[in-house]
Amino acid sequence: MIDTTWTLKGGKVLGPAPFFIAGIVNVTPDSFYDGGTHEDAHSGVAHGLDLARQGAAILDVGGESTRPYADQVSEAEELNRVIPVIRGLAEADHESVISVDTYKAKVAASALEAGADIINDVSAFRFEPELLDVVAEYKPGYVLMHSLGRPEDMQDEPRYDDVVGALMAFFEERLTVLDKAGLPMNRVTLDPGIGFGKTLEHNLSILKNIERIMALGFPVFMGLSNKSMWQGLLGLAVGERQNATQVATAVLAAKGVPIHRVHEVALTQQTLTIVRELA
């Protein structure tokens, strides 16, 4: 297994290690899996610290659900949700890397000032072009994700002639823009956006052919934890998808995917330990 490093805000380096776990810290009332469970700042911080103890190297804090057809959240509301959690985590845990899951420029800048190291952007700076300026200024770790449209319409009959080819062309175009803006390329990871404007067949094709995306030369940041594709493939309800998530994580890790964004960190730590020993 090839070691991977990821350079973050201020030159902080994550790694080297074969795998990193990004633990999901949702501080939203309507996320598809755990909406409302950690809605207040105290609970969000406690949950993040627990995920760190379980083995999460990255704590990914989100204040707006980006599930299909989710309602948008105002900038002010998102700031109220995520900044106290990020600040609390940064003060309580000096070892973990903090990510903010946002596409809003002001939220991103405020999160970076509060202690975040990574911007996890579902929009590839298309929803708010000003986000590119923030990324260029702070030079954080940056998750460049593919999506087709916005959450409120991305699942309305998504179509591709070649979904993997479309993703590769998209990444190449967005990477060129980031490079011209001045973001060092060692700050970037690529997220294929499982479930973001894709059918089950599209998702499976991406996962089967993940090596094509890896060939672009960037670490892959994979987010498939408990997603609806497991209902489409196996008929599993939201609370029944943990095993499917772990099996897929093991297969993808064995193929060389290094970063896994998950809800169940302890289980994923076990999964990746086995892969590390056997692959």
The phi and psi torsions of 127 (rounded to 5 degrees) equal -75, -40
Write down the catalytic residue from 81, 198, 241, 261: 261
Which among 87, 106, 116 is positioned nearest to 8, based on CA atoms? 116
Write down the catalytic residue from 139, 187, 227, 241: 227
Radius of gyration of the chain (CA): 17
Active site residue 53: no
Active site residue 67: no
Specify whether the CB–CB gap between 55 and 266 falls below 8 A. yes
Q: Which residues are catalytic?
A: 227, 261
